[in-house]
Chains A and B, each alone.
Chain A
Amino acid sequence: MKTKTRNLGLVMTALMLLGLLAACGDSTATSVPATTAAATSAAAATTAKATTAAAVATTASVATTAAVVATTAAGGVATTAVATTAATGTNPAVVYPPTLAGGPIDQIVFAQGVDPTTLDPNDHNETPAGNVLNNIYDTLIFWSPDLKLVPRLAESWKQLDEVTWEIKLRKGVKWQDGSDFSADDVKFTFDRYQKADRQPRPVQRRANLKSIKETKVVDPNTLQITTSAPFPSLPNQLAVEGIVSKKYGSGDKGDTILELAPMGTGPYKFVEWKKNDYIDMVINPNYWGPAPKAQKVRFRTIPDAQTRLSALQSGAVDVITNVAPELVDQLNKSDKTGITTAPSVRVIFIILNSLDEGPLKNAKVRQALNMAVDRDGIIKAILNDNGIKIAQPLTDRHFGYNPNISQYAYDPDKAKQLLKEAGYPNGFEMTFNFPNGRYLKDKEIGEAIASQWADIGVKTKTSSPVWTDYVGLINNRKQAQAYLLGWGNNTWDADNTLFTLLDKPKADVTVADGSVYSYWINEKAQKNILEAKTVSDVKKRESLYQEAEQIVHDDAAWVFLHQQKDIYAFNKAKIKWQARSDEALNAFEVAAAK
Chain B
Amino acid sequence: MLKYIIRRLVQAILVIIGVSFISFMLLHLTGDPVDLLVPLDAGPVARQEMRVALGLDKPLFEQYFRFMGGVWRFDFGRSIFQSSKTAMQVVGAALPNTLLLAGCAFVVALLISFPVGILSAVKRNTWIDRAGMIFALIGQSIPVFLLGTLFVWLFAVQLGWLPSDGMRDSRGQNLDDFWDLPRHLLLPSLSLGLFTTARQVRLVRSSMLEVLSQDYIRTARSKGLRQFMVLRRHALKNAMIPIITILGLDFATLLSGAVITENIFSWPGVGRAAVEAINQHDFPVVQAAVFVVALGYVLINLMVDLLYAYLNPRIRFG
Q: Which residues of A contact B (CB under 8 A)?
A: 3, 6-7, 10-11, 13-15, 17-18, 20-22, 24-25, 31, 33, 53-54, 57-68, 70, 72-73, 107, 109, 114-115, 117-118, 125, 196, 199-202, 204-208, 255-256, 259-260, 274-278, 280, 298, 300-304, 306-307, 310-311, 313-314, 316-317, 468-469, 471-472, 475, 496, 500, 509-510, 512
Q: Mark B156-174, 1 if CB is under 8 A from A, else 0.
A: 1100100111110011100
B229: chain A residues at CB < 8 Å are: none
From residue B299, how far is it (CB to closest CB) to chain A in Å? 11
Does B313 count as interface, using CB distance less than 8 angstroms? Answer: no
Interface-central residue, A10, A125, A302, by most chain B CB under 10 Å: A10
Partner of B275, one of A17, A63, A207, A512: A63
CA distance A68 to B266 in the complex (A): 18
Interface contact A57-B145, CB-CB below 8 Å: yes
From residue A299, how far is it (CB to closest CB) to chain B in Å? 12
Interface contact A302-B153, CB-CB below 8 Å: no
From residue B303, how far is it (CB to closest CB) to chain A in Å? 13
Interface contact B170-A11, CB-CB below 8 Å: no
Partner of A118, one of B46, B83, B163: B83
19 A-B residue pairs with CB within 8 Å? A10-B301, A14-B294, A61-B145, A66-B276, A66-B279, A67-B279, A68-B280, A115-B276, A200-B53, A201-B54, A207-B46, A208-B39, A278-B172, A303-B263, A310-B152, A311-B164, A316-B156, A475-B35, A500-B41
Interface contact A468-B171, CB-CB below 8 Å: no
From residue B196, how far is it (CB to closest CB) to chain A in Å? 14
CA distance A509 to B171 in the complex (A): 50
Interface contact A311-B36, CB-CB below 8 Å: no
CB within 8 Å of A: which B223-252 residues: 249, 252
Interface contact A21-B275, CB-CB below 8 Å: yes
Does B268 count as interface, using CB distance less than 8 angstroms? Answer: yes
Does B293 count as interface, using CB distance less than 8 angstroms? Answer: yes
Identify whether the interface residues of B are mostly helix, strand, loop, or mixed. helix
Does B64 count as interface, using CB distance less than 8 angstroms? Answer: no
Contact status of A117 and B170, CB under 8 A, knowing A24-B275, A68-B280, A468-B281: no
A310: chain B residues at CB < 8 Å are: 149, 152-153, 156-157, 164-165
Interface contact A70-B39, CB-CB below 8 Å: yes
CA distance A102 to B294 in the complex (A): 55
A53: chain B residues at CB < 8 Å are: 153
B28: chain A residues at CB < 8 Å are: none
Does B7 count as interface, using CB distance less than 8 angstroms? Answer: yes
Interface contact B8-A3, CB-CB below 8 Å: yes
Partner of A10, one of B15, B50, B54, B83: B15
From residue B96, how far is it (CB to closest CB) to chain A in Å? 13
* Residue of A with least CB distance to B280: A68
Interface contact A17-B256, CB-CB below 8 Å: yes
Interface contact A24-B278, CB-CB below 8 Å: yes
Contact status of A20 and B259, CB under 8 A, knowing A70-B39, A276-B268: yes
From residue B51, how far is it (CB to closest CB) to chain A in Å? 9
From residue B4, how far is it (CB to closest CB) to chain A in Å? 9
CA distance A256 to B22 in the complex (A): 32
Interface-central residue, B44, B154, B266, B268, by most chain A CB under 10 Å: B266
Does B18 count as interface, using CB distance less than 8 angstroms? Answer: yes
Interface contact A314-B83, CB-CB below 8 Å: no
Contact status of A72 and B41, CB under 8 A, knowing A22-B278, A275-B268, A311-B170: yes
Interface contact B278-A21, CB-CB below 8 Å: yes
Interface contact A301-B290, CB-CB below 8 Å: no
B160: chain A residues at CB < 8 Å are: 314
Does B150 count as interface, using CB distance less than 8 angstroms? Answer: yes
